[in-house]
Structures are given as C-alpha cells and as structure tokens.
A and B are shown apart, each in its own frame.
Chain A
Amino acid sequence: MKKMKNIMFASIYAGLSILLFSCNKDMLIPAESVKDLSGSWKIVSLVRNNQDDMTSRIDLTKFRLIFNEDNTYSFQDSMAFIVSDPGSYSTDDPQYPFNLTLEPRNSTEQNKLEFGFPIVNGKRQINLSISPGCSKNTYKYVFEKEQ
C-alpha cells in the first residue's frame, strides 16, 4: 500500500515538473504582433471638422488606399487627401504604431499623420486625421480593409 502511495506521489511530481519546466515565458505572455497594413483599404466614415458627417454626402465608394508589403502605397481613384502621388510609407513603431508617414515618390516631403489601428466589430480599421486644405479644417477618415 505504501509503495503504491509513493508511486502515485512520484507520478504527480513528475507530471507537474514536466508542465512547469516545459513552459517558457514566451508561451505564457504572447508578444504583441507586428501591425500589418498591407492590403486595400476603403473609406467607411469621413467627418469634417468634428461635426459634418460627409460619409453619405460625397461618393467615397471608388477611392482605395493601398499599402503594399514592400512599404509602398498607392491610390485607386482620388480623394481630398494629404498626398495625391504614390510613394513609400512607414510607421513609428512596428508593434505599437501611433504615427504614419507618407512620402510621395519624387518628393522629399514627409507627411506625418496621427494614426489609429483599432479593431471595431471584429474588423481592423485605420483612423487618420488630416488637413488637406486649410490647417484648421480637419477630416477624420476611417478605413476598413477590403476582404
């Protein structure tokens, strides 16, 4: 009987040891993923000066903002936007980006934008606040990735 008890305790101890020592820290705390912007993004909301919801007032259906995996961007159709030419893009942090920089081709001008990358209703969104005309006029663009 005593032998049986010893075998049982030894088995439990061995099992716990395997569980504890087989888990390293990386498995317990998953690393924040690198934010992948690549894809074609369509506008789902556009608000002017925090008060005028322009989403259904102008045709937003054709415009696409396209981020490529090689860190270049381009547009499909056109819209009142901070840049009109394609070029390259970068973020200030690959895991926790707060700023997006667009640098049009053949230009040294860098356009640094406040950038949000939330998940809303299960869908990844890009939020950009820009002033393509007068600096006191702001436009809040919300993009959603095309499936």
Chain B
Amino acid sequence: MKRLFYINIKKVLLYSGLIAVIFLAECGLNLNGVDVPEYGEANQVATFTMHCGVEPRITDGTYTAKLLIGFLAPKSWHVAQNTVMTFTSPKGNGTLSVIPAGQKEPNTGLEWPDAAKIKLGIGGNLSDDVEWVIFQSALAYTFSNNEDITFDVVIKSKLGTENTLVKLGFYYGNSKENLNGDANYTKTYYTNCFSVINGEGDIADFCNPQLSVVSPGSSLDNDIVTLTYDNGIVESGLSNTDDIYLCATAYTTTGVEKPICEQTAKTKLTPLGGKKYRIDLWPRVFFNVRKGETLDHIEYYYTDASGSIRIGYANTSDPFRYTFKCAD
C-alpha cells in the first residue's frame, strides 16, 4: 500500500535551514514617516525630516553597513548641489554626502541616479524630469542582534525657482544591500502633490495629467525630443480623430521664426493607445536650423488632418510653449 503522506526529511531540513538563514541574517529597516512642510517658497530652503529605524535580527556575528538616503525632486532643483543631509542617532551623528558620479550601484551596474529611477520609479510623477540623488554616510555602522534603534534624517534643500507641483520621494536603505529590491531594505515614501509657490512662470506640474508633455523635460535643439499629446483628458475638436498633426513655430535666439505647419507624414503623431499620441523629432533638422543658429523655444498646436482644428495650451487658442534649456 502506498503511503499517502510521505515526508521527505531532507527537504524539510533544507527548507527549514533556508528559512532560518534568511531570518537570522535579517536586519530590517523601517521608515516611520516623513515630516513635509505644507508648501515651499521658490528659491528658499525647505526642511524635511525622515523618521527611520533599524531592527537587527542576527544570531551569528554582526551586521555592518553605511546609511543610504535618497531624495527624488525635479532636476531643476539641483539637489546634489543644494541639499544638506544630516542624521542624529544613538550610534552617532553625521552628515551624508552625495554618492559620487561614476560609482555604480552594485546590483544593476548603473550609475546610482539611473539605478534608483529603474528600481524605485518616480513616485507617480507624470514627467520624468525628476531625479533621484542618493547620499551616503561617511562611516559604516555595526549592529548586533536586537540592537533596535530609531533615528532622524534631516534634509535641508533649496527649492527651485519655478512654481511647481511635484510628488517628492524619499528612500532609505543601506550599503550592504543597496538597491537589491528586497522590501526589508528598500524603504520609500512619496508625498502628495507638494507646492512650490511665489516662483517664476507657469506651474511646472508633475502631478496632474497634461494635454501635452515634452520629454526630456530639459533639452536643447540638438537633443531628440518627444512631444506626447493626451487626447483623453478633455473633450476637444480632436476627440474623435486619430489623425493628429503637429503645427509648430521655432524661434531662434535672434528671433528668426521657423514655422512647420503642414499635415504630412513629417508632422503626424503616432498613436500609442489609450488616446495618447507621440512624435519624436530632432529640432535642428525638423525646423531646418542653419549652422550657427540656435533655437530658443518653440510654440505649437495640435491639429486635425485639415489643419482647421487647432488645440493649444489648456485646450485654448494659445499655443503650447517649450523653451530649450538644460537643468544642469
């Protein structure tokens, strides 16, 4: 008679051992919230406080690592240059510094900002013109079993000059695990839409769906630029067509106008599904820019196949506007 329940002792021991090793090596991190001001003033310093914790569960040896803290913000804020991070903890106090360019994240082999963008995402922001900047402590800290602590990290960052709506991100990890994807060592917190007020120009809105988005958010006329049109946000004259064209005028730094407003394959947007459309262009060639000329900005509309229906900024007759400039 066959045995209905066969217990493989070797397998039981193997899996028990594995579970034990995983448990015994665990040094869990906690991110117990972030204090975020109600709003920030453009070009002024704002303070954010992260409440962190460590719960080491180790039966053999100790666990040693540096503290890693990341901050996700618009590229135009230049976080690496304009931010000071400090921490106060029972293990000591200190200042964190930006992980230098060229140092690769071990799990991905990518530069830290690129690795963080892939592994942590951009927290629901609708434009990728944001960046993760990862800081590390100067010293590594050693923990023994049950040496639970809590500590605060204070981030003082000078905000950008533009009026902005953005979801800020905070990352807490350590240099032993880096961005290995393990939830025990990858703690993130994202704010709701954080407002920067009393700044320059229109609102740089990373939170709300936009009729038109240009990426990269910062670029020059010698970049390859993507314009995306979302036909599902508002009811407009283009709501019932898939044939959408770009009608644009580029302006050089000396004020020369270079209009391209035709309904041809050159200007036709590619449907992406979900009522979104896209066109990729190299501005210098698209607008026939001559040698020695530099584009300052473009003004543009989206049109139907006849060119008679034009959709502009916020579904008005004003054009969308994009200025060629770098965040760095």
Tell me if B222 and A135 are in contact (CB < 8 A).
Answer: no
Tell me if A80 and B218 are in contact (CB < 8 A).
Answer: no
Residue of A nearest to B113 (CB): A136
Complex contacts, A76 vs chain B, CB 8 Å? none
Tell me if B282 and A137 are in contact (CB < 8 A).
Answer: no
Tell me if B110 and A134 are in contact (CB < 8 A).
Answer: no
Complex Cα gap A144–B108 (Å): 26
B219 within 8 A of A: yes
Tell me if B216 and A137 are in contact (CB < 8 A).
Answer: yes
In residues 98-145 of chain B, which contact A (Cβ within 8 Å)?
Answer: 110, 114, 117-118, 128, 131
B238 within 8 A of A: no
B226 within 8 A of A: yes
Complex contacts, B224 vs chain A, CB 8 Å? 48, 54, 58, 80, 139
Complex contacts, B326 vs chain A, CB 8 Å? 133-136
Tell me if B222 and A78 are in contact (CB < 8 A).
Answer: no
Tell me if B223 and A134 are in contact (CB < 8 A).
Answer: yes
Complex Cα gap A48–B219 (Å): 12
A57 within 8 A of B: yes
Complex Cα gap A136–B216 (Å): 10
- Max chain B C-beta neighbours (<10 A), residue from A78, A133, A135, A139: A133
Out of A51, A78, A84, A137, which one reaches B223, CB within 8 Å?
Answer: A137
Q: How large is the interface on A (under 10, 10 to 19, 20 to 34, 35 or more residues)?
A: 10 to 19
Complex contacts, A84 vs chain B, CB 8 Å? 291
Out of B117, B270, B327, which one reaches A136, CB within 8 Å?
Answer: B327
Tell me if A134 and B282 are in contact (CB < 8 A).
Answer: no
Whether A134 touches B220, Cβ cut-off 8 Å, given contacts A50-B110, A50-B114, is yes
> What's the tally of chain B residues with a CB closer than 8 Å to chain A?
27
A32 within 8 A of B: no
Tell me if B114 and A78 are in contact (CB < 8 A).
Answer: no
Complex contacts, B284 vs chain A, CB 8 Å? 80
A97 within 8 A of B: no
Whether A80 touches B216, Cβ cut-off 8 Å, given contacts A50-B114, A58-B280, is no
Complex Cα gap A123–B215 (Å): 33
Tell me if B110 and A137 are in contact (CB < 8 A).
Answer: no
Whether A49 touches B280, Cβ cut-off 8 Å, given contacts A134-B326, A135-B328, is no
Residue interface mask A76-111, B partner, CB < 8 A = 1: 001110001000000000000000000000000000
Query: Which residues of A are interface residues toward B (Cβ below 8 A)?
Result: 48-52, 54, 57-58, 78-80, 84, 132-137, 139
Query: Which residues of B are interface residues toward A (Cβ below 8 A)?
Result: 75, 110, 114, 117-118, 128, 131, 215-216, 218-224, 226, 270, 280-282, 284-285, 291, 326-328
5 contacts between A and B (CB under 8 A): A79-B282, A80-B282, A80-B284, A132-B223, A135-B328
